[in-house]
Structure 1
């Protein structure tokens, strides 16, 4: 009588189907399209006091009169109190009384917190709402796009940007370089040098449009800071010194 081997479970006799889970793949076109924001930084060192340049930057209503690609600009809401104490420049203060007066002026001053702009940039001509964040004496930042609640409420889905951040910053030239020295001077004594930075970060809903804009973005940012420098010269004069 033949000896029977151990019985094998039926499951071992039935071959399981060879299932293939296809991993998501990017098409050739998708691999060429941007998946992250486009970021740009340009800067200039100008022979003007930081406070004067900051006042120029925070005047959002005037943007359309001198910034290229900005066809309309209007502040639609103002703060009731200062968003923060300004950084005092001790080299320009003659006394503690002067410092207190400057701080009180900043605290009583209203700052823009919301604005509407119309831009013509590459293939886009678009009006949109921005939330504005001011750090007195330091920076002005405009934020827009689908991620901003103010944009969702007021642009009603017409904003082509997923995210758009425009930030102007000013700093004493030596501070920006990390040097603990006296304010930089040039032609003539007392010329205050200030570093101005323009940072742009944008991501559009349509990646093809973002590709088109990326080809001219560097040139556009340079034109913007060129226009800012020209505006400063018109308002404050050349002073015999050149930008860097």
Structure 2
């Protein structure tokens, strides 16, 4: 299954980044290609949410189950939609010098292998754009810091 993994150091706490990533209802405000979200159920440990993504005339919706372990981990498992599979994990670790390290991975499989091969060519660029959108959202919500975020992929 194609996938990608990245680590970033950011000047925000693990708790702040956990809250930002767990706030699925607000994704349409800052994530590229997210048109709408609907949270079906949500508690401290688990959420089930629908998301509509689109680009130009392409539009698809899917459902995911989100397992939350505050403030360390968010695990997203694909439930239903146009893909065969989509899983991603977020791990948040506070750093002794301040800020936190975010480890993110995503794996996906399309039902159509030809489409999977085509999408795989653009996935890396789209993934990086999405990760950058989370960082920009953190700056908007929490302000900037003298320490700058950096990629350690």
Q: TM-score, normalised by structure 2?
A: 0.89
- C-alpha change, 1:122 and 1:166, in structure 2 (3 Å) is farther
The count of corresponding residues between Structure 1 and Structure 2 is 150
> Could you give the per-residue CA deviations for residues 44-93 of structure 1, whole angstroms, max 9, x where no partner exists?
100111111111111110111111121112211123xx43xxxxxxxxxx
Aligned ranges for residues 209-224 of structure 1 at < 5 Å? 209-224=115-130
Aligned ranges for residues 31-110 of structure 1 at < 5 Å? 37-79=1-43, 82-83=44-45
- Structure 1 position 165 matched with structure 2 position 87: yes
Between structure 1 and structure 2, the one with the greater Rg is: 1
- Does the CA-based 8 Å contact 1:122-1:213 persist in structure 2? no
Q: CA deviation at 1:42?
A: 1.9
- Structure 1 position 198 matched with structure 2 position 104: yes
- Structure 1 position 130 matched with structure 2 position 64: yes
SS at match of 2:84: strand
Between the aligned partners of 2:4 and 2:123, the Cα distance in structure 1 is 8
Q: TM-score, normalised by structure 1?
A: 0.58
Segments of 5+ residues of structure 2 without an aligned counterpart are none
Q: CA deviation at 1:41?
A: 1.1
SS at match of 2:140: helix
- Does the CA-based 8 Å contact 2:61-2:82 persist in structure 1? no
- Does the CA-based 8 Å contact 2:3-2:108 persist in structure 1? yes
Q: CA deviation at 1:39?
A: 0.9
- C-alpha change, 1:169 and 1:121, in structure 2 (3 Å) is farther
Q: What is the alpha-carbon root mean square deviation over aligned residues?
A: 1.8
Between the aligned partners of 1:45 and 1:139, the Cα distance in structure 2 is 16
Between the aligned partners of 2:22 and 2:102, the Cα distance in structure 1 is 13
Q: CA deviation at 1:122?
A: 8.9
SS at match of 1:131: strand
- Does the CA-based 8 Å contact 2:15-2:70 persist in structure 1? no
> Could you give the per-residue CA deviations for residues 115-170 of structure 1, whole angstroms, max 9, x where no partner exists?
000112698521111111111111222211xxx4xx3xxxxxxx221111122221
The structure whose residues are more often strand, as a share, is: 2
- Does the CA-based 8 Å contact 1:75-1:116 persist in structure 2? yes
